[in-house]
């Protein structure tokens, strides 16, 4: 196989973002990862806030974009996710393709340092400041979720996530986020 499937649930929901380092990425459609929950943890110098991760949680779901990417871009994707630096770890997860109901084995990434304890069970408005994504990161996710045709209630839930208010102007311009409402 000359390509692989990738499940993007954070900034890589947005085409402009994923294409910065992975120009071969083609969106297959929206996907649903069952028995995982979206969370935010640690800190990103690039995004000025906590990046997204997925954590196992029975009964929960994470929506995202399924991408098909040339094998030649796998190292680029790993580099983007900081795999060699120990930031994210690649995993294989079964994602339900919402267009046709088939399960697709996808590469995904979760933070090497995962959230611990009950913090991952908090409501979006209760996320402590040190666990909040930047406003720019959250806008990237929301714009990508809309572009990826994720369910409207999930997009609304993303909009309800508390952010730290920080704006990364360079990325706002590069990703054309100025018109994205939270």
State mean pLDDT over 89-110: 97
Kindly name the residue from 81, 126, 147, 172 that is annotated as catalytic: 81
Contact 51, 111 (CB under 8 A): yes
Domain total of the chain: 1
Q: Would 26 be classed as within a structural domain? A: yes
Binned at pLDDT 50, 70 and 90, residue 1 comes out as low
Q: pLDDT tens-digit profile of 163-174?
A: 999 998 888 888
Q: Would 7 be classed as within a structural domain? A: yes
Q: Which residues contact 75 (CB under 8 A, 6 or more apart)?
A: none
Q: Would 178 be classed as within a structural domain? A: no
State mean pLDDT over 78-86: 93
Closest CA to 8 of 35, 34, 33: 33
Binned at pLDDT 50, 70 and 90, residue 127 comes out as confident
Q: Which residues contact 83 (CB under 8 A, 6 or more apart)?
A: 89, 90, 109
Q: Would 140 be classed as within a structural domain? A: yes
With a pLDDT cut of 70, the percent of the chain lying above it is 96
Contact 81, 89 (CB under 8 A): no
Binned at pLDDT 50, 70 and 90, residue 51 comes out as very high
Query: 81 an active-site residue?
Result: yes
Residue 14's pLDDT is: 97
Q: Would 29 be classed as within a structural domain? A: yes
pLDDT greater than 70 at residue 119: no
Q: Would 182 be classed as within a structural domain? A: no
CA gap 100, 116 in Å, rounded: 35
Query: Residue 33 sits in which domain range?
Result: 3-173
Assigned token pair, 61 = 């779901």
* Burial readout 46-73 (b: 16 or more C-beta within 10 A, e: otherwise): ebbbbbbbbbebeebebbbbbbebeeeb
What single string gives the DSSP state of each residue in 80-93?
HTTTTTTSEEEEEE
Residue 20's pLDDT is: 93
Binned at pLDDT 50, 70 and 90, residue 137 comes out as very high
> Torsion-angle region of residue 9: left (phi > 0), alpha (psi -120 to 50) or beta?
alpha
CATH code at position 127: 3.10.490.10
89 vs 175 pLDDT, higher one: 89
Binned at pLDDT 50, 70 and 90, residue 38 comes out as very high
Contact 144, 11 (CB under 8 A): yes
pLDDT greater than 90 at residue 102: yes
Exposure on the CB side of residue 3, measured as CA atoms within 13 A: 14
Residue 121's pLDDT is: 55
């Amino acid at each position: 196989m000359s390509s692989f499937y990738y499940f993007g649930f954070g900034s890589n929901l947005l085409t402009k973002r994923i294409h910065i380092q992975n120009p071969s990425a083609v969106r297959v459609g929206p996907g649903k990862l069952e028995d995982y929950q979206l969370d935010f943890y640690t800190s990103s110098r690039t995004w000025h806030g906590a990046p997204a991760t997925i954590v196992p949680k029975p009964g929960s779901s994470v929506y995202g974009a399924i991408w098909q990417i040339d094998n030649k871009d796998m190292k680029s994707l790993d580099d983007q996710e900081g795999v060699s630096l120990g930031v994210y770890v690649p995993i294989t997860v079964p994602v339900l393709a919402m267009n046709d109901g088939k399960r697709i084995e996808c590469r995904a990434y979760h933070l090497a340092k995962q959230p611990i304890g009950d913090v991952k069970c908090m409501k979006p408005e209760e996320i402590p400041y040190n666990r909040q994504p930047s406003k720019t990161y959250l806008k990237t996710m929301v714009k990508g979720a809309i572009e990826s045709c994720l369910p409207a209630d999930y997009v609304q839930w993303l909009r309800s996530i508390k952010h730290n208010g920080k704006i990364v102007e360079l990325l706002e311009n590069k990703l054309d986020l100025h018109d994205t409402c939270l």
